Amino acid sequence: MDIPEQARAFLAAMRDRWACKLYDGRALAPEEESLILECGRLSPSSFGLEPWRFVANRPGGQVRQALFEACFAQDGVRTAGMVVAILVRRAEAYDPDGPLVLQRSARFPGGHPVFRADFVGYYEFLKAEGRLEEWARAQAYIPCANMMTGAKAAGIDSCAIEGYKEAEVLAALGFDPDIWRVGIVVTFGRPAEPVREKIREGLKAISEFK
């Protein structure tokens, strides 16, 4: 079977993406910023609730300095053309009758009554297991991955950043820690270091069909 051209281009972006840890410090073009954020916006979320907020930051200024310190002084955060913190709401926000769920569900066919009937069982399950925030945070990795691959397709490098102090990231960005959690942080920009070779296990070593 022939692999369609679009899929080849997608795979090339996946193959060429690498974790850049030192950038040239230049801001991205507005179109590039928008492209990356659009890749986040189009990402799927559980029940379509879009639990996130993408908080972007350009180079220079106090916010960047505070983010740098909150991320254990990683040079990639200091020098990136754009840093995006993917925040997700705390557990209380997913109440089936709360304002977020009311607003999000109103967009779907059948509105809140239909949505609620579908959602409430899973919500109660997650709540009983104490997993609501784990569920919300896990979702942040989807826009993170899509933004990184989308950026690479546009010739922009990136790195996911798990090395952060959550309270400090929220304080740097001015978000209330009683309402928000950090899902993950991502840096974007043009490299000021050589490309590192991709090291991966072969497909046979990490996958199987049953």
Which residues here bind ligand FMN, judged by CB under 6 A? 18-19, 21, 74, 159-163, 196, 198
Residue 161 beta carbon to ligand FMN: minimum distance, rounded to whole angstroms = 4
Nearer to ligand FMN (CB atom), residue 55 or residue 186: 186
Residue 196 beta carbon to ligand FMN: minimum distance, rounded to whole angstroms = 5
Give Cα separations from 101 to 88, 92, 96, 115, 197 (angstroms): 14, 11, 6, 9, 44
Give Cα separations from 178 to 1, 56, 163, 167, 188 (angstroms): 52, 21, 21, 10, 28
Distance CA 180, CA 183 (A): 9
Distance CA 32, CA 28 (A): 6
Distance CA 67, CA 30 (A): 21
Residue 195 beta carbon to ligand FMN: minimum distance, rounded to whole angstroms = 9
Residue 11 beta carbon to ligand FMN: minimum distance, rounded to whole angstroms = 14
Residue nearest to ligand FMN (CB): 163
Nearer to ligand FMN (CB atom), residue 82 or residue 161: 161
Nearer to ligand FMN (CB atom), residue 11 or residue 106: 11
Nearer to ligand FMN (CB atom), residue 68 or residue 115: 68
Nearer to ligand FMN (CB atom), residue 162 or residue 208: 162
Residue 6 beta carbon to ligand FMN: minimum distance, rounded to whole angstroms = 22
Distance CA 89, CA 182 (A): 9
Give Cα separations from 67 to 56, 174, 180, 199 (angstroms): 11, 11, 16, 29
Distance CA 56, CA 176 (A): 17
Nearer to ligand FMN (CB atom), residue 141 or residue 175: 141
Residue 185 beta carbon to ligand FMN: minimum distance, rounded to whole angstroms = 8
